[in-house]
């Protein structure tokens, strides 16, 4: 598996920043990408970028405090993000310039960072998924996996397949409605926040890092 998957990198915020008192927009959402990046560059950002490490720590501190609102706002307002399914001229589904051949799957609201780290390895080792990149999510209690499409497979169909597969194989706790695969976004422009994970796993050719 070659490591030339390309996608768009966006700077924050992903949604408008508004004044709490007046509701006035202080900063508009970023709709145009900063640049196009390859998967190897995403891996370097996730594993080695000092600024991203500091931003991730802020998000995880809020998550540990149980302050869900602060956690959500910090993610939306401070973290960069990518569109794993491809390169876009604007963050809209009809503005795709090039498909990457990747699909993204999120598993959220796990019980602990330890559970997320274990699942990171399980997903990476799954012989049917063969993810190109897997890392622990901004809160520390989720996992994000970039999964290659099957040759000849329509990307939109592939997104449904990979979500259903991961749900069936890895969503073991059906008692918690929020825990498990995030199915909120199935379109090509679905975004993925980047965060610090020094033990993120990337697959290059026949090698694992």
Question: For every one of its 209 residues, what pLDDT tens digit does the chain have, with 9 covering 90 and above?
Answer: 445 799 999 999 999 999 989 989 999 999 999 999 999 999 999 999 999 999 999 999 999 999 999 999 999 999 999 999 999 999 999 999 999 999 999 999 999 999 999 999 999 999 999 999 999 999 999 999 999 998 878 888 888 899 999 989 987 554 555 678 887 767 899 999 999 999 999 997 544 45
Q: Taking the CA atoms of the chain, what radius of gyration do you get in angstroms? A: 16
Q: Model pTM?
A: 0.91
113 in Cβ contact with 140 (< 8 Å): yes
Q: What angle do CA 188, 48, 180 make, to 5 degrees?
A: 45
């Amino acid at each position: 598996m070659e490591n030339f998957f390309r996608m768009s990198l966006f700077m924050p915020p992903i949604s408008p920043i508004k004044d709490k008192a007046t509701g006035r927009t202080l900063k508009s959402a970023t709709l145009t990408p900063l640049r196009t990046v390859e998967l190897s560059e995403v891996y370097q950002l996730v594993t080695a970028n000092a600024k991203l490490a500091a931003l991730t720590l802020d998000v995880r501190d809020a998550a540990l405090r149980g302050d869900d609102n602060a956690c959500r706002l910090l993610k939306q307002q401070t973290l960069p993000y990518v569109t794993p399914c491809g390169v876009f001229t604007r963050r809209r589904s009809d503005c795709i310039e090039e498909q990457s051949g990747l699909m993204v799957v999120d598993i959220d609201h796990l019980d602990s960072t330890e559970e997320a780290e274990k699942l990171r390895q399980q997903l990476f080792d799954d012989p049917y998924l063969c993810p190109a990149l897997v890392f622990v999510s901004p809160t520390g209690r989720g996992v994000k996996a970039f999964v290659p499409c099957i040759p000849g497979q329509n990307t939109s169909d592939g997104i449904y397949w990979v979500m259903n597969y991961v749900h069936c194989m890895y969503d073991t706790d059906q008692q918690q409605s929020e825990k498990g695969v995030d199915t909120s976004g199935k379109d090509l422009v679905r975004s993925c926040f980047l965060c610090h994970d020094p033990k993120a796993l990337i697959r290059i050719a026949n090698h694992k890092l």
